[in-house]
Amino acid sequence: MQIPRWILALTVAVTACSPGVAETAANPVAGTSLPVASVSASEDAILRGGNARWSQVAAKKISLNRTPPLFDTDEPATLEIPTADVRLLRAGGKLYVQLSWDDATRDTATLPTVPGTPPEQRFRKVPTEADDRFFDAAAVMVPVHPGSPVNPSLQMGDPGHPVHIYYWNSARGAMLMEAAGRATTRRTGQSFPVDAAYQNRQWVVTFEMADQPAGTPLAFAIWNGSQQDRDGRKYFSVWYTVE
């Protein structure tokens, strides 16, 4: 049987490029640093090649926190997703961030396609199928200027420390956003390559982003649709650092 080239490449390339990588996926690394494995694989192989190439990359188990209720009359949300695993791969000048977490419910939908014809020229309009569903989502936040000695505010950065947010929504896709403080998040209109799969009650989402130098802080967020998560109602991590 011929071994696929990407497995060979991955096997060779997943080397101890940082001390943390010496630890295995079964023994997550400690601290707030994120080890990076370097591989020479194509974007397609990394994003859509299945889990095999990622299983050899050390996972960092991160703790997730719930944001407090937005309004003081809201009940606090329960901590259904206490942790997530983060894996980083560097390849082809890109950084790939894989976020995986256990989620008992797959909260997503295939939204109806809007025809190209303007609605006024159509007898039938696309209906709103539901008004009360919220979709699973995840995001990686990265500073626009990663060399800063001060990390941006976790609340979407701050005026002196703007951030990019790589946001993926299970129903609406990937959107690159930018922000410089709470309530300033803005869609840039750009997307980015992403792969997402839900299997065995677990989401595995892989983001492709511009390569980030060592020392770059990354923060993560997860929205659980079944808990009506959206906006600041979510799970979030503290800042972690790319090794």
Partner 1 sequence: MSRHQYAMVMDLNKCLGCQTCTIACKKLWTDRDGTGYIYWNNVETRPGLGYPRQWDRIGGGWKDGALQPSPLPTMDDYGHAWEYNYEQRLYEGSRQPVMPTPDPQSGVNWDEDVGALNGEDNYYFYLPRICNHCTYPACLEACPRKAIYKREEDGIVAIDQDRCQGYRYCIKACPYKKIYFNEVTGKSEKCIFCYPRLEKGEVNACAAQCPGRLRFVGILDDPESPVHKLVHLYRVALPLFPEKGTGPNVFYVPPFNPPKRGNYGQNILEDPRLPLDYLVYLFGEEVKDVIARLEADLKQAQEGGHSEVLQLLIGRDAETRYRVRPQLVQING
Q: Two tokens at 64?
A: 């997730």
Among 1, 72, 93, 213, the residue binding partner 1 under the rule CB under 8 A is 72
Is residue 119 near partner 1 by the rule CB under 8 A?
Answer: yes
Among 132, 147, 189, 213, the residue binding partner 1 under the rule CB under 8 A is 132
Is residue 73 near partner 1 by the rule CB under 8 A?
Answer: yes
Site for partner 1, residues 52 to 71, rule: CB under 8 A? 70-71
Chain center to CA of 86: 9
Please give the Cα distance from 223 to 214 (Å, whole number).
27
Angle at 201 between CA 197 and CA 203, to 5 degrees: 35
Q: Two tokens at 237?
A: 């991590």
Site for partner 1, residues 137 to 176, rule: CB under 8 A? 172
Task: CB nearer to partner 1: give 71 or 93.
Answer: 71
Size of residue set near partner 1 by CB under 8 A = 27
Is residue 125 near partner 1 by the rule CB under 8 A?
Answer: yes
Q: Which stretch of DSSP H or E encloses residue 141?
A: strand 137-143
Please give the Cα distance from 226 to 223 (Å, whole number).
9
Interacting residues with partner 1 (CB under 8 A): 70-75, 111-112, 114, 119-120, 125-132, 172, 182-183, 185, 228, 230-232
